[in-house]
Structure 1
């Protein structure tokens, strides 16, 4: 199977909710009003509650409480509302594909840490629309769960990475593609905006290609997440490409602060997403 075939099979098992497509349709309609968005979201009490919880979380760090959908839309905009929905969908999709083939606690921690670190570094790099970069960081390794669900033996092989045999290199060797390729293919099927898909599809080539800031930031955040989860195996000095930091004007202190922020806030975000860890038997 190739990356697209894995994504297609996953989509047949878990499709993006209709509400996401409806929100996207409203975003593309210039005549849409805040009331249109609020009416669509408010018919789902669970979604309303979750979105307000996320709006008041460390992901966005707004001063004061956001207590209504209309206020949330007014303050942070429709794109942020859409991104919040993707965060909520991610939690549901992650749990849908969760299985005993891989270390789920490590997977969850790395995914959420990467999203938070990406957001923090994006601010330092002067990138706008940091919410979509949190989503990109969160979803970049979603393909691992898909492969683990469909081909558990292969996923277990790919989990045996080390400093000498890096994760993405091992994935290419065993699968012929990386987990991020599967993630990008599924998000394309789900019609997720290209601005979210592009950094996921290309960040592992950030060191060799002249690509935009989004790609470089996600590359750095993914390496911070790897070091955070395996400090005994990986180090910042060996994992971080200094030339990318220089290009983004990100200092070693900025990297340390991003890692500290992600580490501190990861547990809060995991709680919001109602994560229950399962260890392998």
Structure 2
């Protein structure tokens, strides 16, 4: 039995006790999510809750100032909350929680950073493609895109041994990340789209649940495009993204993908800096 095969049952066992092995959403994020479930929520009350956590406040202001969400700097938390709106705030709250998975022990720091960059690139890429193609609810698509590969970070969180070679860790990640994501999404009570999308890792486009084909196709294409553009694990051999089946599924042209390539790297770098 090789080293990867010995890790798989250990990860499976840890996931069976995911209430203990995987991190919960921070308390302030949970409270914020509950508030944002109310369509009539008072944004002044949302601002009050965000202010209770200085680190969260600073990141919300930063994200609201980022090129992805704003064309001008935002310096006040009240303005940041109102400019983002409830849908963007919801996706940003979960994004900030997910960013905590991108921090941890130094022995896999480089790998963790690469996986997090791919998460951000997939989320932002999904958002951009959705807007270019006239999709609705781009914020939910952004969140599902960002979390599409987050299971890789969850596996790194579970694999704490420093004696393992990088290729062994990557092998375990490849085997278990979809399953780890499913447990994490359940723990965090995330939207159905997140759960439906991550199944494409295992079943491909043919296994997408009816009614979710276009949304998941957007996410899959954004993830593959991020890799092709150097913002995720490289393809071997290199991939012509325009020829990927997901491009035909959602009607993305070479022009759409060229526009995406022009915008994506700078937006990822910008948001990555604000999230810290």
Q: Report how far residue 202 of structure 1 moved.
A: 3.5
Q: Aligned residue for 2:263?
A: 261
SS of alignment partner, residue 66 of structure 1: coil
Q: Report how far residue 37 of structure 1 moved.
A: 0.9
CA distance in 2, matches of 1:243, 1:12: 36
- 1:95-146 alpha-carbon deviations (Å, 9 max, x no partner): 0366428733432332222222122111123222323333323222222233
SS of alignment partner, residue 15 of structure 1: coil
CA distance in 2, matches of 1:21, 1:155: 34
CA distance in 1, matches of 2:105, 2:126: 24
Q: Aligned residue for 1:142?
A: 150
> Mapping of 1:125-274 within 5 angstroms?
125-151=133-159, 153=164, 156-157=167-168, 159=170, 171=174, 175=175, 178-202=176-200, 205-209=203-207, 210=210, 211-227=212-228, 228=230, 229=232, 233-237=236-240, 242-274=244-276
CA distance in 1, matches of 2:50, 2:148: 26
Structure 1, unaligned runs of 5 or more: 161-166, 275-281
- 1:59-96 alpha-carbon deviations (Å, 9 max, x no partner): 32x23333433333333321211211222222222203
Moved more, 213-222 or 243-252: 243-252
Q: Report how far residue 234 of structure 1 moved.
A: 3.5
User: Are 1:86 and 2:94 an aligned pair?
Assistant: yes
Equivalent residues of 1:20, 1:85 under 8 A apart: yes
CA distance in 1, matches of 2:58, 2:253: 38
CA distance in 1, matches of 2:245, 2:235: 24
Q: Aligned residue for 2:30?
A: 21
**TM-score computed with the length of structure 1 as normaliser:** 0.77
Q: Report how far residue 52 of structure 1 moved.
A: 0.9
Q: Report how far residue 44 of structure 1 moved.
A: 1.9
User: Are 1:51 and 2:49 an aligned pair?
Assistant: no
CA distance in 2, matches of 1:86, 1:130: 15
The verdict on how the C-alpha distance between 1:49 and 1:112 changes in structure 2, with shifts beyond 3 A counting, is same
CA distance in 2, matches of 1:112, 1:30: 27
**TM-score computed with the length of structure 2 as normaliser:** 0.78
The verdict on how the C-alpha distance between 1:266 and 1:127 changes in structure 2, with shifts beyond 3 A counting, is same
CA distance in 2, matches of 1:156, 1:196: 28
Q: Aligned residue for 2:103?
A: 95
